[in-house]
Structure 1
Amino acid sequence: MVSETAELLGEHLKQWRILLGLSQELAAERANLSMPTLRRIERGDTGVRLGSVLALMDVLNLTERLTEVADPLSTDLGRMRAHLLGRQRARRSQ
């Protein structure tokens, strides 16, 4: 399951890069990644450091979307059980 998710994420990141008109070389340079690391991310290699994936996502302007989707308070379950977290509301978008 994890490797399938990594492969799908890698493919989506590749598609975003292409839609934004960025070559692999330019995306790697802007994210301060080596070309082999960028290729590994786009192939869905689960051995790539999280920091490398986040650096690429930042270049692709996807980090805000990632943090929004990971916020438990953006879900009904998270809001129902917010008292367990010590916060009551989701963070506001900027």
Structure 2
Amino acid sequence: MATSPIAVMRAMNDIGESIATWRRLRELTVAEAADRAGVSVSTLQRLEHGQGGTVETLLRVARALGILDQVTASVDPMSTDVGRLRAGQALPTRVRRKERR
């Protein structure tokens, strides 16, 4: 597997720290949060330590912590200037590039 870019690794650490903070704010142990999310304790610990995980794992944990709506809203393109500017445009269903010779 290729090494992740530094910005991605930094984001994984930041998200992991935020998940751990939310868990502590909810006064849940790692075991309790993992049980509520339907993931293993080691999976939650990896996520909290910025060691990666699946999108599904992140969303399961976010749901267990009561922040699923916030996580979902954070990637809503209509919450950005670009998304709002392009809202009236018909977006392509696929983006393709012609091969250059």
TM-score (norm 2): 0.78
Deviation digits for residues 43-86 of structure 1 (CA, Å, limit 9, x no counterpart): 0112x122111100111111111121211111222111111449
Which structure 1 segments of 5+ residues have no match? 87-94
Residue identity matched to 2:19:
L
Q: Which residue is equivalent to 1:66?
A: 71
Which structure 2 segments of 5+ residues have no match? 1-6, 93-101
CA RMSD of aligned residues (A): 1.4
RCO greater where, 1 or 2, for CA within 8 Å and sep 6 or more? 1
SS at match of 1:45: coil
2-structure distance, mates of 1:60, 1:84: 36
TM-score (norm 1): 0.83
Q: Which runs of 4+ in 1 moved over 6 A?
A: none
Q: How many residues align?
A: 85
Q: Which residue is equivalent to 1:3?
A: 9
SS at match of 1:33: coil
Structure with greater Cα Rg: 2
Q: In proportion to residue count, which structure has more helix? A: 1
